[in-house]
Structure 1
């Protein structure tokens, strides 16, 4: 039913791991095969292509559904329907940022301080040109084919680059003076395909599986038993997503309590629960959380 396109390159590993965790494992003959399959009745075919091109191909109807970054959607002017952000990326769950950077020892502190004719290197010439025009600066935009941060100061005066952690820019001795946009990975659909009720329903189901995995990441299910006298004290310790589920134990005094909590800090929480009177404490991993 759905023709799906997934990103190759820096997002590839994280994307394939996400789909596998969503029970939508991508099968291909080798890591360099651009064609793949997913054993799911909603997915007709899978291609793996560079994220720079995915927005355009989905917009043109070559694919019904795709995953790419907001940065490339904006750069290519692709007309797609966004089904929502998928908050994952190659290194962290943080979004990437498209920023303007100059040499660390430059007196320039703001984009507005840059002169007309400033030389700018970037892999995003369309977005960059629009940004500098919005600031009233006549910039000399130069397309970069990589190693953009290495071109300051002898080749260009500043760069427009994406960063997730900022580590590479700092290592190159650069400083950020402005942010153009923030970009998460997005699940996008072809507008005509999205108008098809059957396809739109299938797209929504795929999105539910992917979001369920992302929602579960970093969380665990905690189950425990507690006596009547200690219930309130135990409940106060539980930082739950919603109110904990509390059930009366059959045939004896006390309660069974379960809730979802962040894995971070579980090493402190479990001993504290035991100290507060909880017994039979179980920590369980979560595959998906669907609201």
Structure 2
């Protein structure tokens, strides 16, 4: 029913991990660009560069695709951004499209860029539009990679993506402006989104992917608590809404369950124990579907 284009390159590993955790594992064969997903909703899978995916989805070659919002903006592709999937090359996070200059440049902000400056980038359309808004005429030149290596010898500044800025700093570059922030998106073609049968399948795939995203970094905590210690224990608990409380069969004690951030359980569990919780279980969560 659905054809889907998955990204090759920097987003590939995290995308494959997400689909595996969503119970939609991508199975590669000797034909690396034509893997399969063993799911009745997905009939064709292709691995392509993320730069191309928004265009191919917009043109109807694929019903679904995964690419960055940066490439949707750069290509101007007319697609439906079905869901935000906040992961990048190194895991969860947002990437930034930035304007950077060499460390010893007198430029402090984008407005300081001298007219006629040479700007190297893989995002010429976004870059031109940005400087047009500033009213600064610049010479935008397309970069085929290693963009940071061209400043200052060949170019005066660059526009590129960064997660942490570390690569720019290592190459003696300094960020002077954030042009836009981008996350990975689940994209759909207009025709697929308007088709009732395909739209239902797209929404089901979205539910699985977002369920994994929501569950990342979360655990389920379950514990037994005596009735007279209930308030003390509950006061320690985080919860998405409220903790679930159930009476234990044949006992005056209760079972309490809640969701907590994995990063906090090393502090939380001892506090729960001190407050009166017993038989505390920590259980990994694979999906949270709201």
Q: TM-score range by the shorter chain?
A: over 0.9
Q: Which runs of 5+ in 1 are unaligned?
A: none
**CA–CA distance in structure 2, aligned partners of residues 105 and 94 of structure 1:** 30
Aligned to 1:50: 49
The offset of 1:83, in angstroms, is 0.2
**CA–CA distance in structure 2, aligned partners of residues 225 and 104 of structure 1:** 58
Aligned to 1:65: 64
Aligned to 1:23: 23
**CA–CA distance in structure 1, aligned partners of residues 88 and 109 of structure 2:** 28
**CA–CA distance in structure 1, aligned partners of residues 143 and 246 of structure 2:** 61
Map of 1:58-207 to 2, 5 A cutoff?
Answer: 58-207=57-206
The offset of 1:82, in angstroms, is 0.8
**CA–CA distance in structure 2, aligned partners of residues 122 and 261 of structure 1:** 42
SS in 2 for 1:265: helix
* TM value normalised by structure 1: 0.98
Q: Is the CA contact 2:221–2:281 (under 8 Å) kept in the aligned structure 1?
A: yes
**CA–CA distance in structure 2, aligned partners of residues 92 and 193 of structure 1:** 29
Map of 1:210-229 to 2, 5 A cutoff?
Answer: 210-229=209-228
| Number of aligned residue pairs | 290
- The alignment status of 1:12 with 2:12, answered yes or no, reads yes
**CA–CA distance in structure 2, aligned partners of residues 226 and 119 of structure 1:** 67
Cα deviation, 1:51-96, whole Å, max 9, x if unaligned, reads 0000000000000000000111111111101102111111131111
**CA–CA distance in structure 1, aligned partners of residues 87 and 140 of structure 2:** 30
Cα deviation, 1:17-53, whole Å, max 9, x if unaligned, reads 10010000111214x6100111111111100100000
Q: Is the CA contact 2:14–2:91 (under 8 Å) kept in the aligned structure 1?
A: no
Q: Is the CA contact 2:27–2:35 (under 8 Å) kept in the aligned structure 1?
A: yes
The offset of 1:11, in angstroms, is 0.6
**CA–CA distance in structure 2, aligned partners of residues 188 and 153 of structure 1:** 37
**CA–CA distance in structure 2, aligned partners of residues 151 and 268 of structure 1:** 48
Q: Which runs of 5+ in 2 are unaligned?
A: none
The offset of 1:227, in angstroms, is 0.7
- The alignment status of 1:249 with 2:248, answered yes or no, reads yes
Root-mean-square deviation over aligned CA pairs: 0.9
**CA–CA distance in structure 1, aligned partners of residues 182 and 170 of structure 2:** 22
Q: Between 135-144 and 86-95, report the one with greater CA deviation.
A: 86-95
